[in-house]
Amino acid sequence: MTAGSSAHGADLESVVARSGRSPEAYLDASASLAPWTPWMSSWGARYALRTYPDPSQRRLSGLLAALHGIHAESCLIGNGAAELLTWAGRDASALGTSLIPAPGFADYARALHCWDGTYSSYRLPLNCSDRWPCDYPLPPSADVVWVCNPHNPTGQLWSRASLTPLLQRYRLVICDEAFLPLVPDGEEQSLIPLVDAHPNLVVIRSLTKLYGIAGARLGYALAHPKRLARWAAWRDPWPVNGFALHLGESLLHKPCRYRDWCRRVQRWTAEEGAWMHGELSRIPGLTPMPSAANFLLLRGERSLVPLREALEQRHRILLRDCRSFEGLGETWLRIGYQSRRRNRRIVSALQREWLSP
- Which pLDDT belongs to residue 335? 98
CA distance 262 to 291: 18
Please check whether residue 247 is in contact with residue 213, taking contact to mean a CB–CB distance below 8 angstroms.
Answer: yes
Alpha-carbon dihedral angle through residues 240, 249, 210, 234, given to the nearest 10 degrees? 30
Same domain? 298 vs 350: yes
pLDDT of 22 reads 72
Instruction: Looking at the structure, tell me whether residues 221 and 296 fall in a common domain.
Output: no
One domain, residues 242 and 284: no
237 and 280 in a common domain? no
Specify whether 287 is located in the same domain as 154: no
- If asked whether residues 132 and 187 sit together in one domain, one would say yes
Domain stop point among 223, 257, 291: 257
Other CB atoms within a 10 A radius of the CB of residue 73 amount to 13
CB 77 within 8 A of CB 270: no
212 and 69 within one domain:
yes
CA dihedral of 309, 312, 315, 319, whole degrees rounded to 10: 100
Based on the fold, state whether residues 13 and 149 are members of the same structural domain: no
In this prediction, residue 99 carries a pLDDT of 98
* Structural domain harbouring 94: 42-257
Task: From 157, 153, 178, select the one nearest 82 (Cα to Cα).
Answer: 178
Confidence at residue 116, expressed as pLDDT on a 0 to 100 scale: 98
Give residue 3's pLDDT: 45
Look at residue 247 and give its three-state secondary structure: helix
Q: Do 108 and 206 belong together in one domain?
A: yes
Burial class (CB in 10 A: 0-12, 13-18, 19+), 210: buried
Q: What is the pLDDT of residue 1?
A: 44
* Residues 111 and 204: beta-carbon distance below 8 Å: no
- Residues 212 and 103 both lie in one domain: yes
Question: Which domain CATH number covers 173?
Answer: 3.40.640.10
Residues 25 and 75 reside in one and the same domain: no
Residues of the chain with pLDDT under 50: 1-6
Same domain for 207 and 83? yes
Domain count along the chain: 2
Q: Kindly tell me the burial class for residue 350, based on how many C-beta atoms sit within 10 Å of its own C-beta (0-12, 13-18, 19 or more).
A: buried
Predicted confidence (pLDDT) per residue in 143-180, tens digit:
999 999 999 999 999 999 999 999 999 999 999 999 99
